[in-house]
Amino acid sequence: MFTELRLDGVSRSFGSADALKDLRLAIKGQEFVALLGPSGCGKSTALNCLAGLLPLSGGSIWIDDKRIDGLAPEERGFGMVFQNYALFPHLSVRANIAFGLKMRKVAKAEVTRRVDEALRLVQLTEHASKFPAQLSGGQQQRVAIARAVVLEPPVVLMDEPLSNLDAKLRIEMRMEIRRLHQTLGLTTVYVTHDQEEALSLADRLVVLRDGTVQQIGTPEEVYAQPANGYVASFMGYRNMLTLDIASVNGSGLVVQGKGIRLSGTNRDGLTAGQAVAAVRPEDFVVGDSAGNSIEVTVEIVEYHGRELSVSARLPNGDPVFFRTDKRLAPGDIAGISVPAERVLVFAP
């Protein structure tokens, strides 16, 4: 067991394009870290550099005091779970899971014991003799996870492992991955573009943009205190309103424009000019009980069970999004409000 996996200024370029720039991250043993961001942000590049599938253009990778970026992938001994499962179609479930152990020339009795234990952990014992084509997508993904963890690796790397599953299976497999992480005491590095997935699974999030780290923090920190407007928009602050600064009072300020006026929290030490006010749809309240009242025209109403998701228009015609359990219909004029502490104001 190791104490720390460290990426020290890791960079990767393709020609003149930087896919990953100066990534500095220390991952504790048994920690679950999610690399989060949209397509092309550098998260899969970072994972492939960790795995040894891509050489570094700069920086180094360490496990405690041992440098490993010069080692081949098989010498690092990491477990890897791919987006497309990458199972051998001609091998049974048991043979797929045993494959890595046999390649390492593990004794036959030990292979049997460890494969039986892995099958039990992923709840596939009764499917051991089936072939991948006979399994559901969720079952195939569990085989891929079992194949990774049966090697008892120091680190498990997961690259968008749930993106090919339907919504119900994704939720089930999320819980399965977290259970296995806790049960086996794994150190897990997990790549995803899904913020809900990252929030529910990880101990810490690393939000990337164009190969550069934007914020590292716990799910609570990144969700409630985004470091900048980019992180805010990616973490669910769907309303990003460009407004003019009217006044500043310490950590608070007032912004106005588009026919509205809002008090909020000054996140970037702004003093004048334009700013972006970020508000989550779920933080708006129908009525003026919360302060920061706005009158909007309802345009689209979507039924989401206990609540409605509403797209409306501000007085100047710009869109605004909110959620409510109140009955609304297209064309309605509605008053909405949001507490000042729920309005985060960033530099444009």
Domains of the chain, earliest start first:
4-229 (3.40.50.300), 237-346 (2.40.50.140)
Q: What is the pLDDT of residue 220?
A: 96
Q: What is the pLDDT of residue 308?
A: 94
Q: What is the pLDDT of residue 85?
A: 81
Residue 195 contacts residue 236 (beta carbons within 8 Å)? yes
Q: What is the pLDDT of residue 250?
A: 85
Q: What is the pLDDT of residue 206?
A: 97
CA 299 → CA 236, 242, 306, 332, distances in Å? 21, 21, 20, 8
- CA 305, distance to chain mean position in Å, is 25
The list of the chain residues with pLDDT below 50 reads none
Is this prediction's pTM over 0.75? yes
For the stretch 260-280, pLDDT in tens is 999 999 999 999 999 999 999
Q: What is the pLDDT of residue 72?
A: 95
Q: Which of 7, 26, 51, 46 is nearest to 192 (CA)?
A: 46
Q: What's the CA gap between 199 and 158, in Å, rounded?
A: 16
Q: What is the pLDDT of residue 328?
A: 95
Q: What is the pLDDT of residue 166?
A: 85
